[in-house]
Structure 1
Amino acid sequence: QSPPTILITYHSESGKTQAMAEAVAKGVAEVQGVVYILKPVSQVTKEEILKVSAIILGSPVYNANMTPQVQEFINSWPFEGRPLKDKIGAVFVTGGGFSIGEEATMFAIIRSMMIHGLIIVGGDDLEAAFGASAITGEGDFANKEVQEIFLKKAKGLGQRVGEMTLKYKPY
C-alpha cells in the first residue's frame, strides 16, 4: 500500500506564495509515512486531486479574496458524488498588508473546501489557527523575502497536516 499523498498547490505571481508553499512542503517532509506533490494550481491534474489524501491550497490575497486562478482551480474540482469528501484540507495565503483580507481569503477557500466535504485542519500555532498567512508588502515586511515568522507558520501547517493525514485514514 502506498503512503498517503498530500497535494500542496498554489498560485503565485511574485514568488512569495510559492515560498510559503515550499515551507509547507518542508513541514510535510518532516512527517515519516506521507509523501507530497508540490506544484502550481495550473499544473494539477484531476487525477491528482482524486488520488491525494489531503489538499493544502495557497493563494495571494486579491481584493480581499483568492486570485481568479485559485477560484478557477477550485471550480474545476469534480463535484458529482462528492469524490473529495473526507479528504483533509488546509490553506495558506500571502497578503500585501495588514488587514487587507488574509483571514477573509482563508475562509473563502475553507468554505469552498467544506462544500466539497473536505475536513479542515488549521495550523500548528494559535496564530495560525485558520491556516498560515504572511504579510509581504507593508511596514517591516515590505520589499523583502517572506519573513521567517511566516515561513515557520507554513512549515507548522504542513507538519500538522502530515500528522493528521496519518491519524485520519478514510482511504
Structure 2
Amino acid sequence: MPKIAIIYASQSGKTKRMAEAIANGAKSVEGVDVLLKNVFQAKPDDVLDADAVVLGGSTYNSKLIKTMDPFLAQLEKLDLKGKVGVAFGSYGWSGEGVPILIDRMKSFGMSVIEPGTTAVQLPTKEDLERCTDLGKAVANGLLN
C-alpha cells in the first residue's frame, strides 16, 4: 500500500491546521496509508518507507522555522531519490519557508511538486480546501 508521510513544524498551530487538512484529503482516498506527525515526534524512518513526503514549515523572520532544521539534517543522510515531495506552510509577511523546503527536497533528489501551497497567517476556508485537495491529489497520484 502506498504511504504518504506528512511532517510539519508549527509554532502557532497555523501550519498544523494545514497539515491536518492535507492528511484528511489523503485519507479520503482508499488504498493509501497516511502518517501525520509533528516534527518533534517524527523520525527518519517515518519517511524512509514513504512513497510521498509532505513537509510543512512556517516562515519565521524570513526563514524556515528553525525547529525543522534538525529533521532536515537527518533526511539529508537518507536515500530519498525518486520519492514525491510536497511543501506547505503559513507565513505572515514574506513566505520563504515553502521555497526553502522545496530546495532542500530537490537537493535530496526527490521529485518535487511545485509550487507547494501556502496560507497567509491563519488558513482560510479556501486555504484548507486547497490543502485537502492537495492531499487527495498526492494520494491519487500514488495509486495511478
TM-score of the pair, normalised by structure 2: 0.92
Is the 1:93–1:106 contact (alpha carbons within 8 Å) kept by the matching residues of 2?
A: yes
Structure 2, unmatched stretches of 5+, are: none
Deviation per CA, 1:77-121, whole angstroms, max 9, x where unpaired?
A: 153xx511111100111012xxx222x321111110011111112
Q: CA deviation at 1:162?
A: 0.9
SS in structure 1 at match of 2:75: coil
Identify the structure with the greater strand proportion.
2
1:21 correspondence with 2:19: yes
**Which one of the candidate residues 147, 150, 161 is aligned to 2:127?**
150
SS in structure 2 at match of 1:43: coil
Distance in 2, matches of 1:146 and 1:120, equals 23
Is the 1:57–1:92 contact (alpha carbons within 8 Å) kept by the matching residues of 2?
A: yes
Match of 1:132 in 2: 117
Aligned pairs for 1:21-40 within 5 A: 21-40=19-38
RMSD: 1.4
In percent, how many aligned pairs have the same letter?
31
Larger RCO: Structure 1 or Structure 2 (Cα < 8 Å, ≥ 6 residues apart)? 2
Q: CA deviation at 1:76?
A: 1.2
Higher Cα radius of gyration: 1
Distance in 1, matches of 2:108 and 2:41, equals 21
Paired letter, 2:103: R
Match of 1:47 in 2: 45
- Which runs of at least 4 in structure 1 moved beyond 3 Å after TM superposition? none
Aligned pairs, number? 144
Is the 1:121–1:161 contact (alpha carbons within 8 Å) kept by the matching residues of 2?
A: no
SS in structure 1 at match of 2:54: strand
Paired letter, 1:91: A
Structure 1, unmatched stretches of 5+, are: 123-129, 137-144
Paired letter, 1:135: V
SS in structure 1 at match of 2:82: coil
Q: CA deviation at 1:149?
A: 1.2
Is the 2:44–2:71 contact (alpha carbons within 8 Å) kept by the matching residues of 1?
A: no
